[in-house]
Structure 1
Amino acid sequence: MPNIPGTSLRFGPPRRYSKTFDEWLTINRCNAKARQLDIFPSITFVATKAVCVTQELPKNLKKRAKIILQKQSLALIPNGRAAGTEPFIVTGDDTILGDLSMTYKPYIYDIFFASRLPELVRFSGPVLVLAGAPGSNYGHWLHQMLPRLELANKGGWKPQEFEKVLINSTRNNFAIESLLAVGFESNQFVETFSGLHIQSANLVVPSIPEAGNPPEWISDFLRRTYGNPVSEPRGRIYTSRANAKWRRIVNEAELYPILSEFGFEIIFPEKLSFIEGVRLFEGAEAVCGMHGANLANICFCKPGARLIEIYNPQHPEIYYWATATGAKVEYSFLLGEGPIVDYPDNTQLAPGNRLDTIVCPEKLRNTFIASGL
């Protein structure tokens, strides 16, 4: 690509690629307007102790995980561009930035082989990029995309200073609702789509926190921004995935007597507005549910609350174990029935990622008792 004349503003794909903004900045130090502000240093933490009554466990649930997170920064890119649904971030000198272009399968996307990028729309004011590959999913929006707003805040930016903010298109408009609640206006939103190609005189791109390991600063930011101080939490909620496409508990009705016995209210998170979900979780002393975005709001629970997570034994991710650790929420887990399959953690390729499961009611009761409920 570097040998193709001209730039992708005229024809063809961007001519260069850099793995990180750091790397690009080292080479382009003469560009005084391009800057990187380091906001949070690299963080290492160990998952909290967990309560479990199951004897046989997958390897990644047998011991507490050590989690290492990279530093979090804010990139200021003069004449920067964003293109595509996920989107790709391109510098003024036609370089794709790999770390800020969070895509699941970057090398199969059309931008690398495009004869011409979509028509360019230019903005003279600053544009904030909050969109990314997983941002259309509620849990990933909450734990990865929305915390980028905190990086912008700590970099000195306020919502009203941005001409536009780039976000994923989401079901139920939870992305828009969460941003309207903190001072953005509806005319600032630009939702990504395949034909997106924008340029800003000052593109503001926060780094993207890793999936599945929200550290303490993310829960602190979310509670501080959206929380409403309440009295001592008393409620217990069970988050049902009965209306989801996958990862359901097929014998959920058999669990209702146990849930009722221990005082759990059955809720369907997809029926709640963003703020309704925040209020429900922040008032809960205990949350129980199958692994999935239905548990994402545990970061709003008060420190000391308890999460009881149910896994399909073929999909033992530690996403919410790590989330609970960062949120200072006590953690318990229970495996559904069936054979255990060891598979690398936090991967979409795990064979049980979309499988439903069966839960033994007596094991659920024993887990509640062992958890002190």
Structure 2
Amino acid sequence: MSELSAPPDQAQMVRELLAALINQGRIADASELFESLKGALPDDPQLKVYESYVHLRLGRNEEAIQCVSQALALGSGDPLTLLVLGSASLNLGAHADAAQALLAAHRASPQHLEAACLLLEAAVAAYGFEEAQAIYEEAAARLPGSAAATTWARLLFDAGRFGEMPDGFVAKPVGTVSAWLKGRGAAPAWVGEREIIPSRTPPVFGEPKPTDEVVQVPGYVPYAATVPDATIFSKSTVIVTPDVNLLSDTMADERFGRFLAFNHDRRVVRNAERALYDTRAAGLMELDAAVMLSGWTTDYYGHWVPEYLCRLSYLEHHPRFADLPIVVDAGMPVQHLEYLRLLVPNPVVELPRDHALRCRELLVGGPSTFFPTHVVPDHQVPNDYMGGLPVGGFRYLQERVAAKLPPTGRSGRKLYLGRKSRNWRRVVNEDEIAAALAAEGFEILYPETMSFEDQVRMYQEASVVVAPGGSAVLNAVFARTDFRFVILSQRNLFNWATYYGLMRELGYEMTMLCGEQGNDEKHSDFEIPISQVLQAVRG
């Protein structure tokens, strides 16, 4: 909904308060205020409009319609009344009434995307696609390139009308790169042995040591291949082929691809037995040949390193790799590019946001294993299969970085890597922990403010590192293998076993120090008693 306004009159203060509560999403508070106003200002049309919206947000559709009727009877001309009426009618299954109200709302506020999208849903339900087509064309003419086209494509897709997509949308099954090449009598230029990802339960400070059992998780068969005449899009891993097929090894995973959610890639409108993909772009770049290192979450270090940089160990087997520019997403943190440029000398081309790249020869490397960004609720992906870290890929990173940044010989630094500026997995009492550790001689550092080289150096020179769980711990592979490593975490460890499996394979040991409260949300904040932190670091 668009922001509400409060027209100036004798009820100005009440209107402003209600508008503020609604715009802040404090719907329950607004509802309580209406309860306290019963009997006051009974003839105020704007308050009835606001009340109708509050009822709608709380799922009280009949009450919302009743308030709309009262607002209209009092002379309200606020277009929001039409939107509330249409939305509530749609929720109640009165599709013809909803379509009539929402069409009026759309014509009154042509730039209101929500009104247009709800209108299309109601029109299809009330009249069918053939009659609703004219309404869609009217909305699309007012909102070119908008969510209206996405909604229309989604409605067609859900109805199984895959051949009727509007321009810019593709509804096809998603396949793997290797299968697509094989279907055309081609093959990858290089194929390696299947990755095996080790997973071990990490030790938790103050608790019995877990068994040393290793779960060997089968990953993918790595490859380096050229996809001819391919098109890719910024912040998306999907490759569109010249015969308009969709390729993504992760989405096409036979075991777990159906559990992917696409909060991170709005181009994937639907993902079922086939995908609905939006190929519209703000601009088009063209290259003769390039290496693809762009994708869904390249701006997150915890994905950039294992999902993308580790692929270089595959891509370098391709005979043309050294001659080609590497395509990345524009807007990544500078440390990501510093890391990449330290590993390989290839030129880097940044793909702007909402742009597409058409490439005559697109060199791609396969993922090491299933590495989702988001999964649907109640998914069936075991923790050991979520985002495994390839040992070979990290050995490659170790060797390349050591060749460019050999250890300085300095050692003995005690470090606490703060996380309070991050948006999730924060330590609630981090300031107190940092103060206690500073008194023990620890340096308090914030990796996101440091260059990649400085992050490597801090690990190389460290004797003790204490860090909340986050992507900065991926750089611990550059430390001496005898350093003491304590990771602060919430009680539920989720898939930390994949990280510990990697670290043990590389010769490292570590200890988890967990908060007292468990949480089913992986990225939740947590608190660690200071006494436990000090016990863990004093050993």
**Same fold per superposition (TM over 0.5):** yes
Structure 1 residue 233: Cα displacement: 4.1
RMSD: 3.3
Higher normalized strand content (fraction of residues):
1
| Correspondence for 2:528 | 359
TM-score calculated relative to the size of structure 1: 0.79
Q: Aligned partners of 2:365 and 2:244: how far apart in 1?
A: 19
| Correspondence for 1:191 | 351
Matched, 1:333 2:512: yes
Q: Aligned partners of 2:489 and 2:225: how far apart in 1?
A: 38
Instruction: Out of 221-230 and 254-263, give the one that drifted further.
Output: 254-263
Which of 1 and 2 has higher RCO (CA within 8 Å, sep 6+)? Answer: 1
Q: Aligned partners of 1:168 and 1:67: how far apart in 2?
A: 33
Q: Aligned partners of 1:122 and 1:101: how far apart in 2?
A: 26
- In the TM superposition, 1:24-63 aligns within 5 A as 24-29=180-185, 32=186, 35-47=188-200, 50=203, 52-54=205-207
Aligned residue for 1:50, secondary structure, equals coil
Q: Aligned partners of 2:513 and 2:279: how far apart in 1?
A: 51
| Correspondence for 1:175 | 336
Instruction: Out of 69-78 and 106-115, give the one that drifted further.
Output: 106-115
> Does the CA contact (< 8 Å) of 1:89 and 1:101 recur in 2?
no
- In the TM superposition, 1:246-285 aligns within 5 A as 246-256=424-434, 258-260=436-438, 263-285=441-463
| Correspondence for 2:312 | 149
Aligned residue for 2:236, secondary structure, equals coil
Structure 1 residue 71: Cα displacement: 2.4
> Quick one: structure 1 residues 239 and 193, their matched pair in 2 at CA, closer, same or farther if it must change by over 3 Å?
same
Q: Mind listing any 5+ residue stretches in structure 1 that lack a counterpart? A: 342-349
Structure 1 residue 63: Cα displacement: 7.2
| Correspondence for 1:345 | none
Q: Aligned partners of 1:289 and 1:121: how far apart in 2?
A: 41
| Correspondence for 1:89 | 239
Instruction: Out of 290-299 and 312-321, give the one that drifted further.
Output: 312-321
TM-score calculated relative to the size of structure 2: 0.57
Q: Aligned partners of 1:70 and 1:254: how far apart in 2?
A: 44
Q: Aligned partners of 1:332 and 1:171: how far apart in 2?
A: 31
> Does the CA contact (< 8 Å) of 1:54 and 1:334 recur in 2?
no
Q: Mind listing any 5+ residue stretches in structure 2 that lack a counterpart? A: 1-156, 253-259, 372-386
AA aligned to 1:205 is: V
> Does the CA contact (< 8 Å) of 2:235 and 2:297 recur in 1?
no
Aligned residue for 2:455, secondary structure, equals helix
Instruction: Out of 269-278 and 165-174, give the one that drifted further.
Output: 165-174
AA aligned to 1:229 is: P
> Does the CA contact (< 8 Å) of 1:38 and 1:72 recur in 2?
yes
Instruction: Out of 213-222 and 129-138, give the one that drifted further.
Output: 213-222
Structure 1 residue 36: Cα displacement: 4.8
| Correspondence for 2:500 | 321
Q: Aligned partners of 1:4 and 1:120: how far apart in 2?
A: 25
Aligned length: 345
> Quick one: structure 1 residues 53 and 165, their matched pair in 2 at CA, closer, same or farther if it must change by over 3 Å?
same
Q: Aligned partners of 2:306 and 2:279: how far apart in 1?
A: 34
Of 448, 460, 465, the residue aligned with 1:287 is 465
| Correspondence for 2:175 | 19
Structure 1 residue 89: Cα displacement: 0.8
Aligned residue for 1:23, secondary structure, equals helix
| Correspondence for 1:202 | 361
Q: Aligned partners of 1:91 and 1:116: how far apart in 2?
A: 12
- In the TM superposition, 1:72-83 aligns within 5 A as 72-83=222-233
